[in-house]
Chains A and B, each alone.
Chain A
Amino acid sequence: MPNQSIDRPFITRGVARCSGSKFLLWMAPWTALLLFGLYAAALCLIKGLNQTNMDNRFAFGLWIFLDLTVIALGAGAFFTGFLLYILKVDELRAVINSAVVIGLVCYSGAVCVLAVDVGQPLRAWFTFWYPNVHSMLTEVTFCISCYLTVLAIEYVPIVLRNRKLRQIPGFLVFEFELHKLIYVLAGVGTFLSFFHQGSLGGLYGVLRGRPFAFREGLAVWPSTFFLFILSAAAVGPSFILLTTWLVQKISHKRLVRPEVLQLLGRISGSLLALYVLAKSIDTLVWINRTSPETGFQAWQYYSWKPFGSWLLVMEIGIFGLLPTLMLLTPQLRRRTGWLVTGASLACLGAALNRFVLTVQTLALPTLSFDRFLSYTPSWQETGTFLAVVAYGVLVYSFSFRYFQLFPQERELKVEAPAVEEQELVGRY
């Protein structure tokens, strides 16, 4: 029977969505989690950063790790846009709307957490008005703010295509005209992403006082600048793949053709291969030249447990080389289990890399009177972190219900799935 829920006129014609009550039931726990997180964030804003377990010595914690990770994972938005609108890889039209929503969620979530992390959000505008010329964070702040604006503008046509909203002539026409110019925004997004992903990496690479993170490079850019760009471009498509597969599983629907997911896997795998190669060379140079020149042998960093050398093996081997092989081998890529596992490992690799650069870097002692520090986030920090996750799920769920995130969904409703595809979406 067709869905007769009260919000039916707002749902795209020809797609099936669960009843309104079921949707509310799904949203309820995430809303509760968001409220809990907002309470935790409010405590940090009202009482101050003493609510966190960070201090002057350990100034980057869970929040910065979260920011770096979601910004890397959200890179799928810019990279998919670049491939679709600039390089004309038309197959990616099937996931571009979803990629924009994911990008928007990731970037807006990161900016919200940064607003709490700044401690005095009312003075957040200082960074624009009195920027520190010598800080890579300045470039990051400017680029992320601009790119978030671009993502919000890219989200507008998706919203205005809503079945009910497009009945308003002004909305319909503006959406149509804006969409015709979307390639300009895709180009701007690529430019901005290139620099802020790089600057986030460069931020660690220029830390001379932290030889574990310090890297040599090209002109003013340390190698981490380029590694961050490459890793973000590599895991962005994997995250799109992963979320699409997850939404298919949860909604019990076929949303994109398997070839699209395989293409995302192939793109991700190719870039990951480049990244693993570059990261390996960078690590070898660091072990043999950069680190000794700063007065430390590389093995010394890994003598502090639990941050042993296993982290390096995991980062390059298990979360780098292994997913590269999974995603680049056609026979494995055609099997959903391998494809999704490869994409998951790639995303975890990016998260681990950001964890190592944020938490491990700050935990290691660098001066003779310094000591190894351990850091465990407070419940307020964790709550704020979870609020971002809940916010992401809520925005994405709302968008999935009311906007056309996967244009192939309607067509796939009537097409018989291929045998291998059946395992991709579970039951129907």
Chain B
Amino acid sequence: MLPWNYGFHWNTGHIVFLGAFYLVLMTVAATLIAAARRSRKALVEHRVEQIAWHADFHDLPARDRACRHVLTGEFKSRECPNAFDCRECETHAKLIERHSLPAAERPEEDIFGMAFPLDRYYHRGHTWVHPESDGTVTVGLDELGARLLGKPDGLDLPPAGAHVEANGTAFRIRKGSADVRILAPVDGEVVETGGPDRGWYLKIRPAQAGEAAFRHLLRGAEIKPWVARETERLQLALTGPASTVTMADGGVLVPDIAATCPQADWDAVCGEMFLEP
């Protein structure tokens, strides 16, 4: 039946069948080649971090992909279509234009016994960004993140001069069985590294100047409902089928939660809370 075989005669049936067969083969091959070429391009353009975050975001449960405007009650339910990067989000821009966020009344929020200073921005991966007078920003773990990890067993910080991008890996922390990557809150170049003892982890020179660099970060009145939601998420993450851990109403989180609940699957809990499913 193949054209190069002895006794082959072309007819309509052959044309249709062989045409369909070769079309299928070419489509499959073209799909593989396209995927391979796109992959190569992504690797050459150093988009691995971006892709890793998009893959992680896609794997998050729907309830964890909620838009920031759901936290403040502006939407009843809405899934973030931009993987928590509000810099490109038209809906966010419109809402901010319509009614900008009210300024915080106090310099610091005390939420469930945790301090959230309002002079900085917060990333949903539990880091904060504090703009410094020299144009750099300091990046640290927020209070909930710090209490989750307690005193880290290990830390992989990027060297000075390294480039980090928003929602890419800023640094990695190991604590017991957990090994989590902490998402970078902004794009920029690392100028100095710190550590848990210094209260901050990275000093970054942002790639973008001004307010635009922080548009995707939470601030002011958004912080309280977000932390409330995160506390609920933590409660859920600690409530595995075999877990006996519960969070009593009215109490506050202890400084080193992992040390207090060694029976929990901390790898899973940290993955859940630091958005690395």
Pairwise interchain contact A150-B28, C-beta atoms closer than 8 A:
yes
A185 partner residues in chain B, CB cutoff 8 A = 28, 31
Determine the chain B residues whose CB is within 8 A of the CB of A181 once the complex forms: 31, 34-35
Q: Please determine whether B48 and A169 come into contact, CB atoms closer than 8 angstroms.
A: yes
Q: Could you list which residues of chain A lie within 8 angstroms of chain B, going by C-beta atoms?
A: 1-4, 13-14, 16, 129-133, 138-139, 142, 146, 149-150, 153, 161, 166, 169-170, 172-178, 180-181, 184-185, 188, 191-192, 404, 407, 410-411, 413-414, 428
Write 22 A-B pairs (CB below 8 A) sorted by A numbering.
A2-B265, A2-B266, A13-B276, A14-B272, A16-B241, A129-B2, A133-B14, A146-B28, A161-B55, A172-B48, A172-B52, A174-B39, A177-B38, A177-B39, A177-B42, A178-B31, A178-B35, A185-B31, A191-B20, A192-B24, A411-B63, A414-B240
State the Cβ distance, B244 to closest chain A Cβ, in Å: 11
* Chain A binding surface SS class: helix
Q: By the criterion CB–CB under 8 Å, are A172 and B51 in contact?
A: yes
Q: Which residue of B lies closest to A174 (CB)?
A: B39
Closest 10 CB pairs of A and B: A2-B265, A14-B268, A178-B35, A177-B38, A411-B61, A174-B39, A13-B271, A173-B39, A169-B48, A414-B236
In-complex Cβ contact of B239 among A3, A129, A174, A414 (8 A): A414
Number of interface residues of B (CB under 8 A): 48
| Contact A16 to B55, CB < 8 A, known contacts A173-B42, A174-B36, A188-B27 | no
Mostly, the B contact residues are helix
Q: How far is the CA of A173 from the CA of B36 in the complex (A)?
A: 9
Complex CA gap A142/B19 in Å reads 13
- B17 is an interface residue with CB less than 8 A from chain A: yes
Contacting residues, chain B, for A178 (C-beta < 8 A): 31-32, 35, 39
Of chain B, the residue at the smallest CB distance from A149 is B28
Complex interface residues of chain B between 186 and 208 (CB less than 8 A to chain A): none
Contact residues of B between 64 and 111, Cβ < 8 Å to A: none
Tell me whether A142 and B35 are in contact (CB under 8 A): no
In the bound complex, how far is the Cα of B25 from the Cα of A153, in angstroms? 13
Instruction: State which of B17, B38, B43, B62 has its C-beta within 8 Å of the C-beta of A139.
Output: B17
Residues of A within 8 A of B266 (CB): 2
Complex Cα gap A173–B25 (Å): 24
**Are A188 and B28 in touch, CB under 8 angstroms?**
yes
Expressed in whole angstroms, the minimum distance between the Cβ of B242 and any Cβ of chain A is 8
Residues from chain A with a CB closer than 8 A to the CB of B14 are 133
Measured CA separation A1–B264 after assembly (Å): 6
CA of A105 to CA of B37, assembled, Å = 29
Bound-state CA distance A146–B277 (Å) is: 34
Contact B51 A173 (CB under 8 A): yes
Asked whether, in the complex, the Cβ of A176 is within 8 Å of the Cβ of B55, the reply is yes
A131-B1, A178-B35 known; A13+B24 contact, CB < 8 A? no
Measured between beta carbons, the chain B residues less than 8 angstroms from A191 are 20, 24
Residues of chain B within 8 A (CB-CB) of A146 are 21, 24-25, 28
Min CB distance B168 to A, Å, is 12
Q: Mark B233-277, 1 if CB is under 8 A from A, else 0.
A: 000110111100000000000000000000111111001100011
Contacts beyond the supplied A13-B276, A191-B20, A192-B24: 19 A-B pairs with Cβ under 8 Å: A2-B264, A2-B266, A13-B268, A13-B277, A16-B241, A129-B5, A161-B55, A169-B48, A170-B39, A173-B47, A176-B42, A176-B55, A177-B36, A178-B31, A178-B35, A178-B39, A181-B31, A188-B24, A414-B236
